[in-house]
Structure 1
């Protein structure tokens, strides 16, 4: 029969859970321990904004368990991601439609009190990154030049909406035809609603119709394509410097090539 100390040791061992590294780079690290996500962010203003954004938005978000800078603890959301960049989404048309309806709800919410990047900043960012891509011969000149021309369609005045700001396909969780959670709100701000729609469908052009069926309204597809090009061009340097590969099949470089 096990003694008291042996029982305590067994209980402690049973409580040990595997630590999974979700994202790790010089700006942020996200770990998963069981049903808890621990986000370590060196920018505390950004982390505070994420917490505030989740408290404001009228869509499902992770529960904030606690925050002790530089760590933010969030509960895992149920369901599975809508898809992954570089892979065809296996989610149903209804799931994509539900995502569109949730995004419409977000975009119609009262604006957050803080601004997002304006047209001048986004235009300057595009110019800087295109110059870097050309100077370092990262991509053929025709790909950069044509991609930049496509991106210009997105750089026009827009009516500000409450946007997620980084609505990657892995940031939306669904269960059947129901959205169960939208994660990673650190870039939430006032911005162009079509940027969110474009970010979610990056590399998934065949699902745009399903998304818009739930979102509703008239959407300029040239602007969507413009944001695909803009996002792909401006993130290539950051991705390569932080351990990601934009040249993987179906990812940013392939998206650019598909637009020219």
Structure 2
């Protein structure tokens, strides 16, 4: 029998790998439902759904290797080529050009709600001595560029670098669609390049159109600021080299 490997596990969901099969267990059935619907609609490579029996979704492993992992040095995660990053940008453009899905984004928050959440998290970070006030204040200012209305696209919603798989210079699969829906194209681009600013130009070259760089940097700040408390409370380390706190420092 193949070994059971825990890919990720916390109080909300867990993902196990058994051979070439991933088993996703989620307390929120709506997330799995959206994942199945999104993978059936998107014009980009996705893993094959094997079966879906709530609260478990079984999918095939994506071919190739992840584009990278936030905070991992190249010694342990070989660097993908600029062409692979450009291919990721081209795939994202195909997704964003697709017809809008018939459901709103999973995050489902208006800009006023996002701004309020950001202010709450900034207050918590400073009040609890998690980060210096000047670091939080400056990044809160940078984040303002993300809080502008934009026409929605078919967005992945959680396009972390580890969710894009490549084989050489070709995208072989994009995984984890549970946050997919109508959303901000620049949020997807920012999420993919978080911690990898040096590859932003490659991604944009593949994406094939000019983008608002200030808004992307704004999403880098915003996403990092609002996620730190959740990461700490769920056993992750945003202070690890190359991760969220380092991203905030790099934007000063």
Equivalent in 52, 61, 74 of residue 76 of structure 1:
61
How much is the aligned-residue C-alpha RMSD, in angstroms?
0.9
CA distance in structure 1 between the partners assigned to 2:123 and 2:39 by the alignment = 36
**In structure 2, what is the Cα distance between the partners aligned to 1:92 and 1:79?**
14
Q: Give the 3-state SS of the residue equivalent to 2:16 in structure 1.
A: strand
CA distance in structure 2 between the aligned counterparts of 1:142 and 1:176, rounded to whole angstroms: 42
Query: What is the correspondence of 1:138-153 to structure 2 with a 5 Å cutoff?
Result: 138-153=130-145
User: How far 1:121 moved relative to its partner?
Assistant: 2.1
Query: Residue in 1 aligned with 2:160?
Result: 168
For residue 53 of structure 1, what is the aligned residue in structure 2? 38
How many residues are aligned here? 245
Counterpart among 80, 85, 90 of residue 96 in structure 1: 85
Structure 1 residue ranges (4+ consecutive) displaced by more than 6 angstroms after TM superposition: none
Distance 1:122 1:107 in 2: 22
Give secondary structure in 1 for the equivalent of 2:85: helix
Determine the C-alpha separation between the residues in 2 that align with 1:120 and 1:160. Answer: 16
Q: Is 2:172 the counterpart of 1:187?
A: no
Instruction: Name the SS of the counterpart of 1:219 in structure 2.
Output: coil
Q: Could you say which residue in structure 2 is the equivalent of 1:5?
A: none
Report the TM-score when normalising by structure 1: 0.93
Alignment-derived partner of residue 65 in structure 1: 50
In the alignment, the residues of structure 2 paired with residue 126 and residue 115 of structure 1 have an alpha-carbon distance, to the nearest angstrom, of 21
TM-score (norm 2): 0.95
**Structure-1 separation of matches of 2:148 and 2:81:** 33
Give the secondary structure class of the aligned counterpart of 1:246: coil
2:5 counterpart residue number: 20
Structure 1 partner of 2:222? 230
| Larger-gyration structure (1/2) | 1
